[in-house]
A = this chain, B = another copy of it.
Amino acid sequence: MQVSKTLDYAVRSLTYMGNDPVLKRSMKEISEHQHIPLSYLAKIMRRLVKKGIVRSMVGPDGGYALRRSPKEIKLRDVYEAIEGEIRMVDCMDRDNICVFYDSCTQLPVWDKVQMSMIKILEDTTLQDMLSKSRGKSARPN
């Protein structure tokens, strides 16, 4: 049960963009700065654009920027754009997926873990993560 590399890359790209939300960033710039392979980043950006977190502008002055202010981007939105719905176990929201569903005694525990995680990700915005990086260099030397 770990944070995927894809989610890590997505959060880092957004934090990078959020540090100066007015600027448009090229895919190449984000890729180089954040050490993310370009083709991997392209897939991530497509998901973030699709979910209305990032906007893509074409043309000579094109690039990527946040579609909403960092205050309005919850970590939960980012998680769900990348991983889909937060769900600890597959049977949690579906009936009849498992013959043990009715007698399952671990489900309430995973539900508790899930609820706790959702609350933390719901309560954390991109702005919170930017604030924490104030005073620290976001650029590796």
Contacts and interface: CB of A to CB of B under 8 A. Distances in A.
A130 interface: yes
A75 B110 CA distance: 11
Given A1-B2, A140-B100, A129 B105 contact: yes
Contacts of A110: 3
Query: At the interface, is chain A mostly helix, strand, loop or mixed?
Result: helix
Interface stretch (A21-29, A51-59, A61-69, A84-92): A84-92
Q: How many copies does the complex hold?
A: 2
B8 A133 contact: no
A124 B109 contact: yes
A127 to B, nearest CB: 11
A1 B83 contact: yes
A94 interface: no
